Copies of this chain bind each other. A is one copy, B any other.
Amino acid sequence: MPETSTRDTILEIASRLFASNGYAAVSMRDVAARVGVTQANLYYHFKDKDHLIRDSLALIIAHKMEPMEECLKAAHSNKEKIEFFISWFVRLVFEDRVFSKMILRELLDGDEDRLQYLSMEVFKRPFALLVDVMREYTGRVDPTLSAVSVAAIILGHFQLSRILPYLPDDRADHTAPDVVARHVLAMLQGPLHDPAGSMET
């Protein structure tokens, strides 16, 4: 009766390695060395490398998506739901870089089958919840498009945060989770456009 089984240890370490370096850049030897076992041991627990990748993905995503439902349930109004969601998602993306890089890499290079599987098995429900929230929040605007926008802007901020330090006018807090969260919320709640700047209502 193992404290934490070797299999779970492999999964945890493998998912961290895959997420931060990419699937191709991490060899079975790398994983084995990190875990402290031999390469052959990995093949005792997993059929091949692809199955190790799939199981790593499924484990980490399912685990990370759980808090979203509770997060939305805790909110009383729709306004609060949006606030809670944005705050939660920004924090998730910015603070768990392992997770967000894994997602982004999958969106970028994941083969069609794996993407379809993940969409329908893991992302479908959280996305539907977000669309529901946006449906009641936005007026005439397409709720699906709005939901995509919210996810997109947060993921995009995270990605661009890597080059922000090398661009002019950057302040350290441009990549701080709460600053980004407040900014995204402000974009949804009001126009960035300042009517005083030009001549309009």
Asked if A119 lies at the interface with its beta carbon under 8 angstroms from chain B, I say yes
Name, among A22, A77, A109, the residue most crowded by chain B CB atoms within 10 Å (CB to CB): A109
Report Cα–Cα, A123/B197, bound state, in Å.
27
Check B183–A142 contact: CB distance below 8 A.
yes
Would you give the shortest CB distance from A1 to chain B, in whole angstroms? 40
A161 to B: closest C-beta gap in Å: 8
Please tell me which one of the listed residues B77, B109, B174, B194 contacts residue A22 in the complex, with CB atoms under 8 A apart.
Answer: B109
Q: A149 CB to closest chain B CB, in angstroms? A: 6
Whether a CB of chain B sits under 8 angstroms from the CB of A38 is no
For A132-159 the 0/1 string (1 means CB < 8 A from B) is 0010111111111110110111111101
Q: How far is the CA of A108 from the CA of B190 in the complex (A)?
A: 31
The residue from B128, B155, B170, B184 contacting A144, defined by CB atoms under 8 A apart: B170
Q: Does residue A188 face the partner (Cβ distance < 8 Å to B)?
A: yes
Interface footprint category on A: 35 or more
Counted per complex, copies of this chain come to 2
Decide yes or no whether A79 CB sits under 8 A from chain B: yes
A108 to B163, CA, bound (A): 10
CB A92 to nearest CB in B, in angstroms, measures 15
With A157-B149, A162-B115 known as contacts, the answer to whether A137 contacts B197 (CB < 8 A) is yes
Q: Is A164 part of the contact surface with B, judged by Cβ < 8 Å?
A: yes
- Asked if A163 and B105 make an inter-chain contact with CB atoms under 8 angstroms apart, the answer reads no
CB of A194 within 8 A of CB of B140, answer yes
Asked whether A145 lies within 8 Å of B162 as measured between CB atoms, the reply is no
**Does A169 reach chain B (CB closer than 8 Å)?**
yes
> Chain B's nearest CB lies how many Å from the CB of A183?
5
